[in-house]
Amino acid sequence: MMHISGRKRKNLEMRKNWPGYLLIAPAIIAVLALNIYPLFRGIALSFTNYNLVRPNSPIFNTFAGLSNYQRIFTDEKFLLSIGNTFKWTAVNLVAQLVIAMLLALALNKRLRARSFFRTMSLVPWAVPHSIAAMTFTFLFNANVGIINILAVRFGLLSESISWLGNTGTAFWCVAFVAIWKGIPFQMIFILAALQNISGEIYESAEVDGATRWQQFWRITLPIIKEPLAIATILNLIGIVSCFNTIWLMTEGGPLYSTEIIYTYAYRQGFIVHDLGTASASSMVLFVIMMLISAVYLRLSRGDKEGQA
């Protein structure tokens, strides 16, 4: 047998696979230009004095150390936005997960017009964020919104209220829209996983006397745990970065009651024009997302090892 050195093998592989590399090159370049470069630029900016409206300042574009971080962590609005981000994430994640699971379980049954219901349940996903935000803003309108009109007509409210204009209701209204919009994404993953479970397993369980709850808890959930974890992580990223819905409906208001880190970063960047603090707050968001993703991945890996 002829011996080929490692370097030669690499060269041969490279020569053999170059059309493949060529084909994926545009995607790699796009990822580098649109994801990797902005990420590193963002990290660099978070340690830089970069107030766009002060380009002539002697400290403009100089190393700022941790001062941008210091400034955002002493800003009440940023601290509030961290709290809101966690609240927003928890509410959305739990609600979307529970409703999507229930919907998926229902749509996995042999129902009449199941295809129709499956298609209908995907509609919110197909609606663009901006359209959904505008539509619900109109529905919640204090003057002409159908929600107020019905609530007043049926005696639930004595007079119309501004759902998006009050600090007590704005958060929940925007969260409702995000939940409505996010459920199909989670549901489709769960439904796909459920369809891979053989009916025979449930039949055997039934023969052994397992209740519906036991079947769900002992069979369904362990089997779909992995795809569920992946779907949840992906969903989580979508939830935390749900900028459009919030900005279009409330612009983070009233009185920052719907301000999450993302909207805070946008405000710092495009209204206050301070890219240093905007990048610092984005980095905080980035770290939070990394941590959550790491925890989930570790959990799912741990389960795999346990199963092995």
Partner 1 sequence: MKKNLALLLILALLSTLFCFGAGAEGLTGEIVISVGSDWVDESKAQGKSFMDAVRAYEEANPGVKVTAQGASQQDIKESFQTAALAGGGPDVVIMDNSGHAIDLAAMGLLLPLNQFISDDELEATYQPGPLNSGKFEGVYYSVPWYLDCCGLYCNTDYLEACGLSIPETWEDLDNCLKVLKENGYGGIITYKSAYAFYSFFYQNECPVIDTSGEMPEVVIDNEAGTEAWNFICKLITEDNGLVESFKEATSWDKVYESFANGEATFLLGGDWCKSGINDVGTSVNYAITDMVMGKTRATVLGGWTWNINVNTKYPELAYDFCRYMSSPETYDILKATGKHSAQTSWDVPSGLSEENQDLVVLGEQFPYTMARPSIINEKTIDEIITNAILTVVYGQANAEDSLAAMAAELRANIAANYDI
Q: Which residues bind partner 1 (CB under 8 A)?
A: 51-55, 57, 140-144, 159-167, 250-251, 253-255, 270-274
In the bound state with partner 1, the residue whose beta carbon lies nearer, of 129 and 225, is 129
| Omega before 222 within 30 of 0, i.e. cis | no
**Tokens standing for residue 122:** 């995907």
Least distance between partner 1 and beta carbon 296 (Å): 34
Output DSSP code: residue 220.
Answer: I
Least distance between partner 1 and beta carbon 191 (Å): 37
Least distance between partner 1 and beta carbon 271 (Å): 5
Least distance between partner 1 and beta carbon 169 (Å): 10
Cα–Cα distance for residue pair 248/86, rounded to 1 Å: 20
In the bound state with partner 1, the residue whose beta carbon lies nearer, of 106 and 142, is 142
In the bound state with partner 1, the residue whose beta carbon lies nearer, of 232 and 268, is 268
3-class secondary-structure state, position 274 = strand
Least distance between partner 1 and beta carbon 259 (Å): 11
Least distance between partner 1 and beta carbon 88 (Å): 20
Least distance between partner 1 and beta carbon 145 (Å): 10
Cα–Cα distance for residue pair 66/49, rounded to 1 Å: 10
Least distance between partner 1 and beta carbon 243 (Å): 14
CB within 8 A of 202, min separation 6: which ones?
215, 219
In the bound state with partner 1, the residue whose beta carbon lies nearer, of 171 and 189, is 171
Nearest CA to 66 among 40, 43, 85? 43
Q: How far is C-alpha 303 from the chain's CA centre? A: 24
Cα–Cα distance for residue pair 165/233, rounded to 1 Å: 32
In the bound state with partner 1, the residue whose beta carbon lies nearer, of 51 and 300, is 51
Least distance between partner 1 and beta carbon 184 (Å): 28
Cα–Cα distance for residue pair 91/97, rounded to 1 Å: 10
Cα–Cα distance for residue pair 131/287, rounded to 1 Å: 30
In the bound state with partner 1, the residue whose beta carbon lies nearer, of 186 and 263, is 263
In the bound state with partner 1, the residue whose beta carbon lies nearer, of 103 and 249, is 249
In the bound state with partner 1, the residue whose beta carbon lies nearer, of 162 and 300, is 162
**Tokens standing for residue 90:** 């928890």
N- to C-terminal Cα separation, the chain: 37
CB within 8 A of 53, min separation 6: which ones?
273
Locus of tokens 């769900």: 216
Output DSSP code: residue 36.
Answer: I
Cα-based angle 75, 283, 273 (whole degrees, multiple of 5): 60
Cα–Cα distance for residue pair 104/114, rounded to 1 Å: 11
In the bound state with partner 1, the residue whose beta carbon lies nearer, of 223 and 272, is 272
